């Protein structure tokens, strides 16, 4: 993994946390008054995906748009601290850096309020051109490209389809995490990686009863109609399902979630996306990459906040799971 270079294209965000104590109710309105004790900021969105890739030791470059504001400066500062290449970030004076600010109660260690500062309009054609020129210059030396869509306007249809085309031309896998319900926007990505709710929207499925018989035909149709090489659906406590087309037939591999105490699911999707893409970059099969991504997601949910996973943690978890399986085998034999 350490020898790989990954490009992360998408909506770069800053997550801000304001921690304080709630001591009274405001006399102006029936709302709590929080006394600020400390504040902190972290990388969010596509920037957090890049942070996860960097934590695994790879070389990372980010591509997107930030505002000419303090949030943009803070985001760039975090990227610099992690030695993430940000030459592909364009600064725009006409839109703010996407910033999510959370007010956190120290007493209860939970979020009590959140406000977002963002513009979700699509970037201009000129900004698309600049962004795609940066990606085109970098992709020949890349081992994988991640497109992380949060519907904040950077990953337009034109950007996504041109990146997918560049990936095909240079034989670099493009792994895309979708948020839009229109699958043709993501056409020709190597692997589409939605969660189950996103998958149901992409195939326009309406919940009716408890039957799951619709899943396989819907997955095959999605792959064939939009020319994906594979589809990896994350399913929370049920693990992941990898769908691939083999000789015109659908191959499905269900990967059960690794048993782990769940403290916080925040950022687990970014972790699994980063691990899966980096495994492919390092030469793993999609099956092995999905299994490691599933294992990494299990580690991520056992931590609080948007935690990153290290190679050492993944290796240790493999040892632990192997030991558990060995014990179960011996117990069954007894």
Q: Which residues are catalytic?
A: 270
The whole-angstrom separation of Cα 318 and Cα 138 is: 34
Could you give the strand order of the β-sheet that contains 191-192, starting from the edge strand earlier in sequence?
85-92, 59-67, 5-10, 144-148, 174-177, 191-192, 230-234, 240-246, 249-255
Q: What are the tokens at 105?
A: 């109660």
Q: Specify the residue for token string 């991504």.
A: 293
The three-point CA angle 149-101-52 to 5° equals 45
Angle between helices 125-138 and 157-170 (to 10 degrees): 20
Q: What are the tokens at 305?
A: 């906040």
The whole-angstrom separation of Cα 131 and Cα 297 is: 30
Q: Specify the residue for token string 């109710």.
A: 25
């Amino acid at each position: 993994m350490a020898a790989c270079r990954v490009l992360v294209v998408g909506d770069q965000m800053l997550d801000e946390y304001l921690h304080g104590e709630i001591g009274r109710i405001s006399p102006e309105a029936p709302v709590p008054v929080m006394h600020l004790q400390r504040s902190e900021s972290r990388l969010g969105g596509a920037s957090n995906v890049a942070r996860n890739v960097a934590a695994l030791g790879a070389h990372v470059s980010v591509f997107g748009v930030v505002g000419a504001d303090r949030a943009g400066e803070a985001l760039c500062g975090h990227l610099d601290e992690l030695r993430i290449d940000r030459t592909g970030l364009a600064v725009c004076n006409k839109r703010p850096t996407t910033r999510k600010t959370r007010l956190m109660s120290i007493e209860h260690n939970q979020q009590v309020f959140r406000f977002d500062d963002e513009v979700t309009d699509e970037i201009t054609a000129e900004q698309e051109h600049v962004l795609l020129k940066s990606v085109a210059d970098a992709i020949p030396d890349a081992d994988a490209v991640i497109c992380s869509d949060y519907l904040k306007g950077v990953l337009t249809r034109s950007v996504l389809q041109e990146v997918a085309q560049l990936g095909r031309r240079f034989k670099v896998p493009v792994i895309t995490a979708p948020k839009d319900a229109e699958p043709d926007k993501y056409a020709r990505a190597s692997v589409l990686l939605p969660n189950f709710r996103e998958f149901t929207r992409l195939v326009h499925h309406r919940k009716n009863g408890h039957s799951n018989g619709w899943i396989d035909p819907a997955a095959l149709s999605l792959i064939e109609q939009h020319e994906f090489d594979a589809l990896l659906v994350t399913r929370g406590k049920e693990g992941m399902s990898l769908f691939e087309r083999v000789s015109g037939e659908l191959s499905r591999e269900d990967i059960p979630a690794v048993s782990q105490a769940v403290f916080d699911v925040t950022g687990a999707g970014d972790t699994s996306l980063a691990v899966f893409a980096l495994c492919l970059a390092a030469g793993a099969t999609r099956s092995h990459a999905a299994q490691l991504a599933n294992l990494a997601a299990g580690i991520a949910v056992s931590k609080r906040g948007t935690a990153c996973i290290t190679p050492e943690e993944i290796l240790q978890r493999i040892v632990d799971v192997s030991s558990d399986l060995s014990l179960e085998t011996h117990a069954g034999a007894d």
